[in-house]
Structure 1
Amino acid sequence: MIIIRFPDSASGQMLQNLSGKQKEIYNELDNSLTMFEYDTTFQLLFEIKLRENIIKAALKLKEASVAFTSFKYSRFNPVYWTKGPRGYLLNPNVLPSDAINDIYENGQEYAFECSTAMVIIFYKAVLDSIRLSDFNYLFRGLLVWNWNYDPDLAIITLEGNEFIPGDVVYFMNPDFDKPIWRGENAVVLGNGLYYGHGIGIGTAEEMIKALNTLRIQGSTTSAFMLQQHSRLNFKYLSQFSK
């Protein structure tokens, strides 16, 4: 359910004109049993656009030729990033926007696992949704690996199984063969589809089926989707909108 405290007619007209993925996101928010509250219609429109950009960033990453691997064998373009014990740190005098865009433009220079992919997708979507100067100010000194992220990215993880396109969910694989396949983080694309770096695009059933091929020999314990989801603090980020 959507609740807007101070709706305005101009933004309201924009809501009426939504189409495609944006309309799908609006309907999912409005039909949800969860209450989505906004101070203004603009905040709602910003969330819809940013969620759409998360989906776009996920699909672009799929096409970017980034390899899937563990931290031991990972790589980032050394022009922009330096590897340390906890992840890849932005090099001095490098703009965060340039470093994030390079992952998409030179994907063959990168190799990482699925949780890192989710955070990078979030960064790319925010970059495409807020003012460039604000992005470079907020995210200077980036450290990227696993679920390391800047506090201004404002990721929130909630319990429940009501997912909205642009959320991130987790498929757990209890009897994994190799630690890198203990589970798969995935972006909710809508229409029953998910994107996970290392597996690709598929339904929940297909994600689970793929993970079940990566269990220890003889296991009969199936992978499954956790009843939780991670999303950005859209209301906070809306103040930096383009």
Structure 2
Amino acid sequence: MIIIRFPDAAGKQKLQNLSGKQREIYDHLDQSLTLFEYDSTFQLLFEISLREQIIEAALKLKEASVAFTSFKYSKFNPIYWTKGPRGYLLNPNVRPSDAIADIFENGEEYGFECSTAMVIIFYKAVLESIRITDFNYLFRGLLVWNWNYDPDLAIITLEGSEFIPGDVVYFMNPDFELPIWRGENAVVLGKGLYYGHGIGIGTADEMIEALNTLRKKGSTTSAYMLKQHSRLNFKYLSQFSGR
């Protein structure tokens, strides 16, 4: 359910004209049992747009030829990043916007696992949604690996199984054979589909089926989706919108 404290006529007209993926996202928000409150129509429109950008970034990463691998065998373009004990640190005098964009433009220079992929997808979506000067100011000194992220990315993880397109969910694989397959983080694409780096695009059942092929030999414990989801703090980020 959506509540807008101070709606405006122009914003209302924009909401009425939504189509495609943005209309799908709006309908999910509006039909949700969760209450989504906004100070203005602009905040709602920003969230809808940023959620669409998250989905677009997920699809772009899928096509970017990035390898799926553990930290031991990982790689990032050394022009922009330096490997340290906790992840990949942005090189001095490198703009965060250039470094994030390079992952999608030169994917063959990169290799990482699924949680890192989710954070990178979030960064890319935010890059496309806020002023580039603010992006470079907020995210200077980036450290990327696993769920390491800058506080200004403002990721929120909540319990519940009511997901909105643009959320990130987790498929748990309790009897994994290799640690890298202990589970799969995935972007909710909408229409029952998910994207996880390492598995690709599929339904929830297909994600679970893929993980079940990666269990210990003889295991009968199925993978399953956790009842939780991660999303950005859209209201906080909306103040940096350049639109």
Whether the TM-score (by the shorter chain) exceeds 0.5 is yes
Q: Take 1:65 and 1:129, find their aligned partners in 2: how far apart are those partners?
A: 24
Structure 2 segments unaligned to the other structure (5+ residues): none
CA distance in 1, matches of 2:117, 2:207: 16
Alignment of 1:23-34 (within 5 A): 23-34=23-34
Q: CA deviation at 1:211?
A: 0.1
Q: What letter corresponds to residue 75 of structure 1 in structure 2?
A: K
Matched, 1:108 2:89: no
Aligned to 2:157: 157
2:64 is matched with which residue?
64
Aligned to 2:76: 76
Q: How far apart in 1 are the matches of 2:156 and 2:188?
A: 15
Q: Which residue of structure 2 lines up, in the alignment, with residue 196 of structure 1?
A: 196
Residue 121 of structure 2 aligns with an amino acid whose one-letter code is: I
What one-letter code is carried by the residue in structure 1 that aligns with 2:44?
L
Is the aligned partner of 1:122 residue 2:122? yes
Structure 1 residue ranges, 4+ long, deviating more than 2 angstroms after superposition = none
Mapped to 2, the partners of 1:8 and 1:201 lie a distance apart of: 38
Deviation track 1:195-228 (CA, whole Å, cap 9, x = no partner) reads: 0000000000000000000000000000000000
| 2-structure distance, mates of 1:10, 1:163 | 28
Q: CA deviation at 1:193?
A: 0.1
Q: Deviations over 1:47-83 (max 9, x none)?
A: 0000000000000000000000000000000000000
Q: Compute the displacement of 1:167 (Å).
A: 0.1
**In 2, distance between residues paired with 1:35 and 1:220?**
39
Taking the aligned partners of 2:233 and 2:167, their CA distance within structure 1 comes to: 11
Partner Cα separation in structure 1 for residue 54 and residue 22 of structure 2: 12
Partners of 1:2 and 1:95 in 2: CA distance: 37
Amino acid at match of 1:205: D
1:155 to partner: Cα distance: 0.1
1:39 counterpart SS class: strand
Report SS of the residue matched to 1:176.
coil
CA distance in 2, matches of 1:12, 1:191: 25
Three-state SS of the structure 2 residue aligned to 1:240 is coil
**1:17 aligns to 2:13 (yes or no):** no
1:46 positional shift: 0.0
1:133-183: CA deviation from partner (whole Å, max 9, x where unpaired): 000000000000000000000000000000000000000000000000000
Deviations 1:85-108 (A, max 9, x none): 000000000000000000000000
Identity level (%) = 86
Matching residue's letter, 2:16: Q
Matches within 5 A, 1:121-200: 121-200=121-200
Offset at residue 187 of structure 1 (A): 0.1
* Counterpart for residue 86 of structure 1: 86
- Give, as a single letter, the amino acid of the residue that structure 1 aligns with 2:162: E
Residue 158 of structure 1 aligns with an amino acid whose one-letter code is: L
In the alignment, residue 28 of structure 1 is paired with which amino acid?
A: H
